[in-house]
Amino acid sequence: MNFDPGRRLTMGGAGLVGPIDEYARFSRMLLNEGALDGVRILKPSTVRLMATDHLDARVTQRRWLPSKGTVGFGFDFAVRKSQPQTAEENRGAVGEFFWDGRETTLFWVDPANQLTAVFFVQTYPFDTTLHRDFRAAVYGADYLGPKGD
């Protein structure tokens, strides 16, 4: 990670560090609507608020989410709003929420399939093919969402 002390804007997640297993526990807590190992950390309503798209429909330029498909933005996460439309888009389920980092890290929470994934690599520049391939390995290359959707 490269830190620039002269930088005027400090991003909330820039330089955030922690063990991978703790990140996995964090994602399981989100999947369990704010509870983990019998301890309530967040209210379910808080997790739903975090994982709900809050972008105004008039925000149409979303170049900051390339290859992610039709997504919005909740408090802290990108939120999948529709099934993958092209083969280039990442596989996933409507309602999942996720984020990735500059060095190609990724995590997502998929309530429809009751799964979380944490993918940590240190690849720069950002490599979208790693995310696409990892998601295809988890879901299958043709996955468009849970049966019945």
8 A C-beta contact, residue 102 and residue 80: no
Inside any domain, residue 1: no
pLDDT tens by residue, 109-138 = 999 999 999 999 999 998 989 989 999 999
Inside any domain, residue 72: yes
Question: Of all residues in the chain, what percent are helix, strand and coil, respectively (each to 5)?
Answer: 25, 15, 60
pTM surpassing 0.75? Answer: yes
Domain extent, residue 134, equals: 20-139
Inside any domain, residue 149: no
pLDDT tens by residue, 9-37 = 556 556 666 788 999 999 999 999 999 99
Inside any domain, residue 148: no
Structural domains counted in the chain: 1
Q: What are phi and psi of 31, to 5 degrees?
A: -60, -35
| List of residues 6+ apart from 51 with CB closer than 8 A | 30, 74, 77, 79, 95, 97, 109, 111
Gap between the Cα atoms of 132 and 115, Å rounded: 17
- Which CATH number goes with the domain that contains 63? 3.40.710.10
